Amino acid sequence: MTGISHPPINGYESVGRRHRVVVIGSGFGGLSAVQSLKKADVDVTLVAKTGHHLFQPLLYQVATGILSVGEIAPSTRLVLRDQKNATVTLGDVDRIDVAARKVHATAGHIEFELEYDSLIVAAGANQSYFGNDHFEYWAPGMKTIDDALELRSRILGCFEQAEVTEDEEQRRRLLTFVVVGAGPTGVEMVGQIAELAHRTLKGIYRNIDPSSARIILLDAGSAVLSPFGQSLGNAARARLEQLGVEIQLNAMVTDVNYEGIEVQDSDGTRRRIRASCKIWSAGVQASSLGKTLADQTGAELDRAGRVLVSKDLSLPNHPEIFVIGDMMNLDNLPGVSPVAIQGGKYAAKQIVHEVEKGRSPADRPPFKYFDKGSMATVSRYSAVAKIGKVELHGFIAWVLWLVVHLAFLIGFRNRVMTLLSWGMHMGDHRSHLNSTAQWVYGRQAIAEAQRRDEPAP
């Protein structure tokens, strides 16, 4: 590990300047940290590659037409407009100079740097394809608004193409949907596709029966919702099967292409599922900024690229740098929003104590996560929830899920509009079943353009 010597983070290097805090990422952790510094005697700069705060747990509802983008992704500038000590900067951070305490970023073709006294890195995670990044071309993940809009158009596009084709084999391929990954995101996504096919789209086509769609949930593991335990996992599985979802476990994906997906079962046999729409929710990989920090500080990374942080969420020998949320690994805490939120508040609190009260980083108490439980919705009126030793499933868990997610949404208007959208969904109505070809083919067009721009070997 490198032991670079720096002035204490509560020291002012130049007279007349306030302590500078740079926060990377506008997700749950980053936004929580900025808001927790609202009354602090510091200047805060939030830099993120998007201009919105994304409520990622509801992204699948954008993908399946229940919610609009605006209801789960308010403008970060609007959220923080009344926080006078906060500046919002749109930029994609590509480099952190730990020795110089500078963050380098780009906004379009414009490059810029931000100097910091304290740094909070909350850049989140991306979809992981376990070394098979070419799978993404045919099986998008669901981490961004672009992903959700693309998936919505792919799902709806399959029904539209099936309506007009006269080739029965092609129609079966178009009406086969495969979701890879039986974690919360995969379960929520496959449940909504099933409801879309069996309820919302019922009777609106003339040549096809949407309920005839084949909907498959694949996972290389042996259980559905394995972090929730066997009882809740079995409850979720039973509900999905009632909706007509095929559950295929111990099935590892070995290839994905235009025609479908290749799977290897536990006995070693391989088979192909012909499917037009493939959706990936099988794993995550931390932001590459984790490796940037590790290379300079000697910090270790786990297999998912997360930084192994100290008990105070800082890097070894660098108390001025906090790593929180999906980028950190501390006691194998899960990559969920409550961990990120509590981490952001904790980091902000330590900065305030050291800047305003002169405390030393050595006096920081260890970060303690208060587990408020986990929950996932399976379908309308059905969810699973685990709160300590208490396990709930069905309608009660679903009501609890509604309340919790409404509480976490940013802004009164978003809560009201989301509640209205959910109310219409209960009556089989979805207000956002629009799609465009640009959403469907944007990823392929960008990939093709990048290939053309690559220098010849």
- The rounded distance, in Å, linking the Cα atoms of 192 and 244 is 12
* C-alpha distances in Å from residue 327, one per residue of 143, 227, 292, 335, 343: 15, 19, 12, 8, 11
Query: CA 6 to CA 299: how far, in whole Å?
Result: 17
* Catalytic, out of 150, 160, 169, 188: 188
Q: How far apart are CA 401 and CA 379, in angstroms?
A: 11
Residue ranges of alpha helices (H) inside 265-360 are 289-297, 337-356
The distance between the two most distant Cα atoms of the chain, rounded to a whole number of Å, is: 76
3-class state of residue 238 by DSSP: helix
Sign of CA dihedral 306, 308, 313, 319: negative
Q: Are strands 260-265 and 42-48 parallel, antiparallel or unpaired?
A: unpaired
Q: In what order do the strands lie in the sheet with 277-280?
A: 245-248, 214-218, 176-180, 277-280
Spatial distance between the Cα atoms of 27 and 6, rounded to a whole number of angstroms: 29
Q: Nearest to residue 9, comparing CAs of 103, 101, 113?
A: 101
DSSP 104-115: EEEETTEEEEEE
Two tokens, residue 230: 């066997």
In whole angstroms, how large is the CA radius of gyration of the chain? 23
DSSP 3-state of 8: coil
Interstrand relation of 102-107 and 260-265 (parallel, antiparallel or unpaired)? unpaired
User: How far is CA 114 from each of CA 16, 24, 26, 294, 336, rounded to the nearest angstrom?
Assistant: 18, 11, 16, 20, 28
Instruction: Based on the residue annotation, tell me whether 188 is a catalytic residue of this protein.
Output: yes
Q: Which two tokens stand for residue 47?
A: 């830099």
The percent of the chain in helix, strand and coil, each rounded to the nearest 5, is: 40, 25, 35
Which residues are catalytically annotated?
Answer: 188
